[in-house]
Amino acid sequence: MIGGNESCTAGPIPMSYLTCLTYILGEWTGVEHIEDYLSYAVYLLWVLFPLAVVFLLPGVLVILFYTSILLLHIYKRKNELKEAYSNDVWDGAKQMLATLWDGHGRIWHGYELHGAENIPEGPGLIVFYHGATPADYVYFMARLLIQRKRYCHVVADHFVFRLPGFKLLLDVHGVMHGPKEECVSALKKGYLIAIAPGGVREALFSDEMYNIIWGNRKGFAQVAIDAKVPIIPMFTQNVREGVRTLGGIKILRSLYERIRLPIVPVYGGFPVKLRTFIGEPIPYEPNITAEELAAKTKAALQALIEKHQKIPGNIFRALMERFQTQKKED
């Protein structure tokens, strides 16, 4: 090997470092014409790199979630004495994580929040369209906490509570399982709660047409009626262009309906423009039924989608909107 390395620099025509490395690798492996194999490997890498990127970028969100969890554990260790004397020991941690997520939303998506004045001072139930990931809701929650000092609890799917390491994060942010009694009780205490009636099914199997997939779900409407609070519709523009799913594959839909686990692959993580729009509240009406209120809420959310989202969604257009200042209705 040493002799081969010396031959790279010796002689009247010295070899380049790349040629030298190829020569050494060929001598070590005993493979003839190894440069042809290396050229093919480089070609495959060049072809497959964009594909690898679109599937790996969503992992950034996972890293951010676990970074948040790590910061919470550090915060907890540094504030163990305060915890014994204060009921608001996690306020600083919430502000810290809100700053982290709001910074990511600003830098990566140019995130904007519009219509926050439609959120009442008291309790209310925010109903939103579920994208492939809940990142847009996290950006909204962070911006709301920073700008208006309001905190919004959220109802999550049961599988979220089984994710490894997420318990502290969910506890600190008051994420709820979603029983009606728990939600009604929280609203009567003056909390602001958010829920996506479409849940995981809407997240995985809606598409660039932004179809609302609620089925016959009306429990959220009954919660609002029982708690006597308004419903506030919410939608995030381009949320399905940031991260998309392979939910159009029928076998994946059948598998989900059988095991109820979100095993559908996602891809993207594109830095598209995200704008969250808060619609006008739907006030409490004592004589309305849950079916009527659910239909009314769905119509209000559909109106937000039609007003603020160009359909079908387009990733390139959503990327270009990062450089625009006007919203769709303008």
Domain positions in the chain: 17-47, 58-321
Measure the CA–CA gap between 137 and 266, rounded to whole angstroms.
18
- CA distances 276 to 37, 84, 204, 316, Å, are 50, 38, 20, 19
Lowest mean pLDDT among 13-17, 31-35, 130-134: 13-17
Structure tokens at 307: 């007003």
For 272, the token pair is 């598209």
Query: Looking at 64-155, which runs of residues are DSSP E strands?
Result: 112-114, 124-128, 152-154
DSSP helix/strand/coil, 217: coil
pLDDT of residue 290: 97
Name the residue type at position 226.
D
Whether residue 288 has pLDDT greater than 50: yes
Question: How far is 22 from 33, CA to CA, in rounded Å?
Answer: 9
Residues contacting 288, CB < 8 A, separation 6+: 225, 296
pTM of this prediction? 0.80
Distance CA 239, CA 227 (A): 30
Q: How confident is the model at residue 34 (pLDDT cuts 50, 70, 90)?
A: low
Residue of 29 and 283 predicted with greater confidence: 283
E strand or H helix at 231: strand 231-237
- CB proximity list for 96: less than 8 A, separation 6 or greater: 71, 75
The band of 55, judged by pLDDT with boundaries at 50, 70 and 90, is low
Average pLDDT over residues 111-117: 97
Looking at residue 320, what is its pLDDT? 94
- Is the CB of residue 187 less than 8 Å from the CB of residue 223? yes
3-class state of residue 232 by DSSP = strand
Q: Is the pLDDT of residue 218 over 80?
A: yes
CA atoms of 132 and 225, how far apart (whole Å): 29
**Based on C-alpha coordinates, what's the Rg of the chain?**
26
The question of whether 73 is a catalytic residue gets the answer no
Residue 9 tokens, joined: 């620099």
**Whole-angstrom distance, CA of residue 74 vs CA of residue 68:** 10
- Higher per-residue confidence, 178 vs 202: 202
What is the rounded CA–CA span in Å between residue 241 and residue 191? Answer: 31
List, for residues 257-286, the tens digit of each pLDDT value: 898 888 899 999 999 999 999 999 999 999
What's the whole-number mean pLDDT along residues 35-39? 60
**Residue-level length of the chain:** 330
Please provide residue 193's backbone torsions phi and psi, each rounded to the nearest 5 degrees: -125, 145
Residue from 104, 109, 130, 173 carrying the catalytic annotation: 130
Which residue bears the tokens 């381009």?
Answer: 238
Q: Which CATH number fits domain 58-321: 1.10.3470, 3.40.1130, 1.10.287, 4.10.860?
A: 3.40.1130
